[in-house]
């Protein structure tokens, strides 16, 4: 009976519906983040998101959305037209699309770099970063490339 | 000893997992999985005050196991639960 307790990694298609069930019940959920699609602010395996059930969904929000059955992303909303939502990861160049009903949870903040204090999405840091990064979208391709090829070679993730 | 409040056993697609649940927040960066035996023990003793002997008796009642093995296994589980911070 050696492996009675272990920390496990659960596949997204299993874990995320459970997360959504809990936010729907009214809990907030702390979720470790995977992937590089929300660079430069959020880093794979390092940061965590604090999620809650969406109330008012707006452009600029970072949300957990089911973009295809069983396929979830935590990306930023870049456009809403009627029921049609366009998403774009901060570290991505291509958008995804879903319906308003597919937006399952909203990020109310992020725990970065192992810190216990939350960078709230209503706080100054996130809003300033969001304002700047959104405006830099025309040159994002070059910024991300420079971040990956130069910055990360010389320094740690931002 | 007793199980700490805020740790609840859930079943997610056949896996027994313990998730840290605050009144408000549920932390998926702290997930502990248990096998069937550990989960049965947890279910039986959750919310109660119990001793290691109580756990041994439970194993002896529920499973085909001799006492020495049961004691050994319970010691392992108690150590693991202590390390994981889910009992106090």
Q: Could you list the residue range(s) of the whole structural domain that residue A57 is in? A: 2-149
* Cα gap B30→B76, rounded to integer Å: 20
Distance of alpha carbon A79 from alpha carbon A87, whole angstroms: 7
Three-state SS annotation for A12-51: HHHHHHHHHHHHHCCCEEEEECCCCCCCCCCCCCCCEEEE
pLDDT on residue B33: 82
pLDDT at A8: 55
pLDDT in tens, A28-82: 999 999 899 999 999 998 999 999 999 999 999 999 999 999 899 999 999 999 9
Number of domains present in the structure of chain A: 1
pLDDT tens-place string over residues B59-71: 999 999 999 999 9
Residues 6+ apart with CB under 8 A from A151: A158
Residue A151 CA to its chain's centroid (Å): 22
Contacts of A153 (CB under 8 A, 6+ apart): none
Q: What is the pLDDT of residue A118?
A: 96
CA distance, residue B55 to nearest chain A CA (Å): 15
- From residue A81, give the alpha-carbon distance in Å to each of A29, A54, A89: 28, 17, 18
pLDDT of the residue at A4: 44
Q: Is A48 on the interface with B (CB under 8 A)?
A: yes
8 A C-beta contact, residue A68 and residue A97:
no
pLDDT of residue A14: 77
A157 within domain boundaries: no
**3-state class (DSSP) for residue A134:** helix
Higher pLDDT, B28 or A102: A102
Q: Are strands B25-34 and A28-32 parallel, antiparallel or unpaired?
A: parallel
Q: What is the ipTM of this complex?
A: 0.79
What pLDDT does B23 receive? 61
Is there a domain that residue A90 lies in? Answer: yes
The domain locations on chain B are 7-84
**pTM for this predicted structure:** 0.78
Residue A13 contacts B where some CB pair is shorter than 8 Å? no
pLDDT surpassing 90 at residue A127: yes
User: Which residues of chain B does A30 touch, with a Cβ-Cβ cutoff of 8 Å?
Assistant: 25-29
Distance from CA of A73 to the nearest CA of B (A): 16
Among chain B residues, the shortest Cα distance to A2 is held by B76
Question: What does the alpha-carbon distance between residue A103 and residue A123 come to, in Å, rounded to a whole number?
Answer: 22
Report the pLDDT value the prediction gives residue B84, as an integer from 0 to 100: 83
CA distances from A148 to A39, A130, A132, A144, B20 (A): 10, 20, 19, 6, 35
Closest CA of chain A from B19, distance in Å:
11
Higher-pLDDT residue of B29 and B56 is B56
């Amino acid at each position: 009976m050696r492996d009675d307790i272990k920390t496990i990694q659960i596949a997204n298609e299993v874990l995320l519906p459970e997360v959504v069930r809990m936010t729907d019940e009214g809990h907030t959920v702390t979720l470790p983040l995977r992937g590089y699609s929300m660079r430069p602010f959020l880093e794979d395996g390092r940061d965590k998101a604090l999620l809650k059930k969406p109330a008012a969904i707006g452009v600029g929000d970072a949300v957990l959305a089911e973009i295809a059955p069983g396929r979830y992303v935590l990306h930023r909303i870049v456009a809403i037209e009627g029921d049609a939502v366009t998403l774009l990861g901060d570290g991505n160049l291509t958008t995804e699309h879903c319906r308003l009903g597919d937006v399952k949870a909203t990020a109310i903040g992020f725990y970065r770099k192992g810190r216990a204090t939350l960078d709230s999405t209503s706080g100054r840091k996130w809003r300033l970063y969001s304002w700047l990064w959104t405006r830099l979208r025309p040159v994002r391709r070059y910024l991300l490339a420079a971040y990956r090829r130069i910055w990360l070679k010389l320094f740690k993730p931002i | 000893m007793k199980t700490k409040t805020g740790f609840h056993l859930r079943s997610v697609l056949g896996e027994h997992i313990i998730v840290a649940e605050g009144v408000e927040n549920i932390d998926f960066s702290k997930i502990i999985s248990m096998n069937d035996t550990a989960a049965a023990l947890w279910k039986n003793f959750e919310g109660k005050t119990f001793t290691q002997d109580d756990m041994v008796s439970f194993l002896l009642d529920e499973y085909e196991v001799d006492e020495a093995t049961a004691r050994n296994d319970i010691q392992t589980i108690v150590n693991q639960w202590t390390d994981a911070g889910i009992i106090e």
